[in-house]
Amino acid sequence: MKNEKEKALEIAGILTDYKGADTAVLDVSQLSSWTDYFVITTVNSSAHWKGLYRQVKDYAKANALEIRVPSRKLPSGDDWNLIDMGSIVVHLMTSDARNFYDLEKLWHGGEKLL
């Protein structure tokens, strides 16, 4: 049985395979009480994020991960979408949103696994 770290890394691989750019995995388990891993990738359009969402949804179903909220948009429009699976949170961000919010810097205390 796969652990959460392995699942987060596999999700990152799927995102990369489907052209998510600069995909990163952060272990934030020591910094956060509500999740253990962030998987972050850059998307280039709303159609792209929808395609990536479908891939993550299929992976979640096959690996007993529950998507808590089907997709949540933050803070507006198609710039930043997330998929909350409890211990793993996937962030699908445009390059502008990713540069502005800079989650890797904000959560710099987390171990970068990828």
Q: What is the pLDDT of residue 26?
A: 94
Question: Where do we find the tokens 């969402």?
Answer: 53
Q: pLDDT at residue 22 above 90? A: yes
Q: Which of 11-20, 50-59, 90-99, 105-114 has the lowest mean pLDDT?
A: 105-114
Q: Where are the domains of the chain?
A: 4-107
Q: In this structure, what are the phi and psi dihedrals at residue 112, rounded to the nearest 5 degrees?
A: -85, 115
The first and second tokens of residue 26, run together, are 């952060």
pLDDT tens per residue, range 60-105: 999 999 998 755 555 556 788 889 999 999 999 999 999 999 998 8
> Which superfamily does CATH assign the domain made up of 4-107 to?
Beta Polymerase, domain 2 (3.30.460.10)
The CA-atom distances, in angstroms, between 102 and each of 60, 61, 69, 109 are 26, 29, 23, 13
